[in-house]
């Protein structure tokens, strides 16, 4: 298996095209195509993390994105996450940060990793029980 490093945009675009072609074939694990796809994806991920870093998104924007994805209103999300509507509204309007408990509940309700909702400078921990 001959693989070229991904050092520039040209290499990157070439690798992306090859990944797309391989994914269309849906290679079985253990095959040469599957191994090639795995290596190419690893190289592309490494290049992207260096050349195209992604800033962490604002938790409110993450929530809005997933509400749209799931076609939920704010009231429906509050019900689904078992949160008080007024608390969720305050978070969505930037009047208060997410608490740890809210992060956990929203993570489950939106089916996303909790770390997507954590902005370390604004985390408000729930008081001890």
pTM (2 decimals)? 0.54
User: Are 76 and 115 part of one and the same domain?
Assistant: yes
> Does 21 map to a domain?
yes
Q: Token pair of 46, please?
A: 């490494």
Cα distances from 106 to residues 3, 34, 40, 76, 93, in angstroms, run 42, 35, 34, 12, 16
pLDDT digits (tens, 9 = 90+) for 19-58: 999 999 999 999 999 999 999 999 999 998 888 776 678 8
Contact 69, 116 (CB under 8 A): no
Question: Taking residues 72-94, what's their average pLDDT?
Answer: 96
Question: Taking residues 61-84, what's their average pLDDT?
Answer: 95
- Confidence class of residue 126 from pLDDT cuts 50, 70 and 90? low
Question: Taking residues 81-101, what's their average pLDDT?
Answer: 94
> Does 127 map to a domain?
no
pLDDT of 93: 95
Q: Token pair of 57, please?
A: 């998104």
User: Are 41 and 85 part of one and the same domain?
Assistant: no
Question: CB-based burial of residue 120 (10 Å sphere; 0-12 exposed, 13-18 middle, 19+ buried)?
Answer: exposed
pLDDT digits (tens, 9 = 90+) for 29-38: 999 999 999 9
> Does 38 map to a domain?
yes
Residue span of the structural domain in which 19 resides: 9-51
CATH of the domain at 68: 1.10.260.40
Q: How many domains does the chain have?
A: 2
> Does 4 map to a domain?
no
> Does 42 map to a domain?
yes
Q: How far apart are CA 31 and CA 52, in angstroms?
A: 30
């Amino acid at each position: 298996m001959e693989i070229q490093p991904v050092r520039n945009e040209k290499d990157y675009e070439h690798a992306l095209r090859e990944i797309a072609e391989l994914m269309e074939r849906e290679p079985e694990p253990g095959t040469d195509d599957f191994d090639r796809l795995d290596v190419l994806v690893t190289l592309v991920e490494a290049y992207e993390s260096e050349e195209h870093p992604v800033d962490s998104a604002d938790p409110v924007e993450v929530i809005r994105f997933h509400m749209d994805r799931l076609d939920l209103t704010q009231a429906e999300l509050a019900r689904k996450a078992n949160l008080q509507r007024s608390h969720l509204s305050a978070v969505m309007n930037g009047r208060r940060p997410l608490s740890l408990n809210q992060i956990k509940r929203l993570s489950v309700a939106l089916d996303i990793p909790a770390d997507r909702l954590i902005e370390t400078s604004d985390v408000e921990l729930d008081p001890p029980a």
